[in-house]
Amino acid sequence: MNVAPLPASAPERMDFDGLVANLQERFHCSVSTVDSGAIGAVLLRDLASLPPLCRFLFWEAGCPFGGLIVEERTRNWELHYLFLAPSTGWIEVVVELPLEVTSIPSISSEVHAADWHEREAEDLFGLQFEKHPRLGDFILHDQCWEENVAPFRKRFDIRQVNANRQRNADWRPLLVVRDPGAFAMPVGPVYEGGIGESVHFMLETVGEDVLRAVPRLFFNFRGVEKLAEGRSVAQTLLLSERFAAKSSIAHSLAFCSAVERICGAVVPQRATQVRVLLCELERLRHHAGTIAGICESTALTVSAAQAAIIEERLLRTSCRFTGHRYLFGLNTPGGLRRNFTGEECNDLLLATGEAVEQLHVLEERLSFTSSFLDRLEEVGVVNPASGRDLNLVGPVGRASGRCHDLRRECPYGSYDRYVFEPPRENEGDGYARLRVLFGEAYQSGNLIHQVIESLDAGPICAPCNTNHSGAALGWAEAPIGATIHWVRLDSSGTVERYRAITPSFNNWMGFHVAAENFAFQDFPIILATFGLSATECDR
């Protein structure tokens, strides 16, 4: 495997004042304060300076890219490029354009992490990104949809069922490998023992080794962001919980905190603490499931079975504790829908403690099983340079030397009250990802313990009147990584724009780096160690 050398020195992270001074000096634009949850917005008038500005923020100021939010307002386009400023918070680079303009300079060649975001905006809004290397056929698959649909434009009515769509049966995937004897092996969208999520891969190969495996996603695209438009906050909350069930608490929390920010609701202390509790319960369960998946992919059946037992027990614990195995229906703007007694909390503490103990035993055994380690070590390597380039988030990013964790970088809820240090590895291979998963699972158990030990009394929910107009960000560290939600409400509490930037979307973009030059039988292992969710990416 070719490993690119590390950059000579990681860029120094500028402090916020240095950043503001630099922006003023070099780009003649100032950082204004906003009330959307970001610490500042840079209003950019000169489109030509957009790519260099983004380049400066990402590469020189060391601000990871958060995502691109496109909004169609009544008279103009509003584009928000989000960056996470060093130890302070989000910075928005705002570009406003008249609606007639549909061509914008692409920043992908400067900030690679923006690649998929721009492709998405092109597909859904019909915006053209100048000099973008590859647009078209992304979310709306070319074999199903005609060109120029732009379903996220306001003029498109998503409730209208278009049954007589012109299908392009001649569509063929783009193949890159041109070696003599090269062929492509299609995998998916129905595959993996019959119980996999819908993803399609083209494994391009010349025989034994796969040279390149690029995922084709969005089979599960349900247009959640567009469906939310015109719905009430309560209805959109149902969508935010149910578009990706394995991280439903994190997504609904991000949505709720955006709404709370718009409406100025103050969440009671107890509610913020119980939210931490639920987030960590979800993380623990998710990681136990991912570990089970990794064990299964290496065909170590006993360990897979034991990890699956731990996961199922945690699902049952969640159900006993909250009434739902996937923690649906708990978050609500202003707090939580139901309170928990001390007895219920102690029951949860016992159950999670037991799960953590069993995970410890499992990890110890796995670390002595050489046949298992052989299959994980140096498989699916993402070196720190690529991890940074592609802005990997969550456990996958942290296994490649990145230290970004919104719980620490941009604390929400009451995370700043608790002591924890996200585990971090530098190897970036499958085994590093497994170690990070185990480490985070233990830490979640520890956080649950800390929360229950110091749980405040008091109300669990404050009233939240949603009849406020405005827009705001909400964020949370989902089990797979950072999730950022943008909500705009009109004065009657109806959602005008909902945007969910999900960690799987980020990490699927980086998946192809790990899936280069590998043996066929390693493919399920690389896939399992990434632990990604297609449906969370697709929305």
How many other CB atoms are there within 10 angstroms of residue 495's CB atom?
24
Largest CA distance in the chain: 70
DSSP-assigned states of every residue in 134-169 = --SSSSS-TTT--S---TTSTT--TTS---S----T
Looking at the Cβ atoms of 52 and 173, the one nearer to another protein is 173
Q: Which is nearer to another protein, 173 or 223 (CB)?
A: 223
Q: Hey, what are 428's tokens?
A: 């970036």
Q: How far is CA 363 from CA 350, 357, 457, 462, 468, in A?
A: 20, 10, 37, 42, 50
- To another protein, the closest distance from the beta carbon of 309 in angstroms equals 6
**SS3 helix, strand, coil % of the chain, rounded to 5?**
45, 20, 40
Q: Is omega for the bond preceding 189 within 30 degrees of 0, making it cis?
A: yes
Shortest CB 175 distance to another protein, Å = 20
**Pick 236 or 386: Cβ nearer another protein:** 236
DSSP string, 282-347: HHHHHHHHHHHHHHHHTT-HHHHHHHHHHHHHHHHHHHHHHS-TT-TT-EETTEESS---HHHHHH
In whole angstroms, the minimum distance from the beta carbon of 110 to another protein comes to 31
Q: State which residue, 218 or 412, has the beta carbon closest to another protein.
A: 218
Phi, psi (rounded to 5 degrees) for 455: -75, 125
Minimum CB distance to another protein, residue 359 (Å): 14
Smaller CB distance to another protein: residue 52 or 230? Answer: 230
Query: By C-beta, is 138 or 418 nearer to another protein?
Result: 138
Q: Which is nearer to another protein, 318 or 386 (CB)?
A: 318
Beta pairing partners, 95: 44, 79
Q: Which is nearer to another protein, 33 or 371 (CB)?
A: 371
Dist. CA 259–CA 489, nearest whole Å: 8
Let me know: does 248 contact 322? Beta carbons within 8 Å: no
Interatomic CA distance for residues 138 and 281, integer angstroms: 34
Q: What sign has the CA pseudo-torsion 383, 184, 297, 318?
A: positive
How many helical (H) and strand (E) elements, i.e. helices and strands, does the chain have? 17, 16
Looking up tokens 């709370």 gives 260
Task: Decide if 474 contacts 261 (C-beta within 8 A).
Answer: yes
Between 92 and 241, CB nearer to another protein: 241
The two tokens of residue 157 are 């009515």
In three-state secondary structure terms, 101 is: coil
Query: What is the chain's length?
Result: 539
Instruction: Report, in Å, the least distance between residue 183 CB and another protein.
Output: 21
Q: Nearest distance from residue 373's CB to another protein, in Å? A: 12
> Closest CB to another protein among 135 and 308?
308
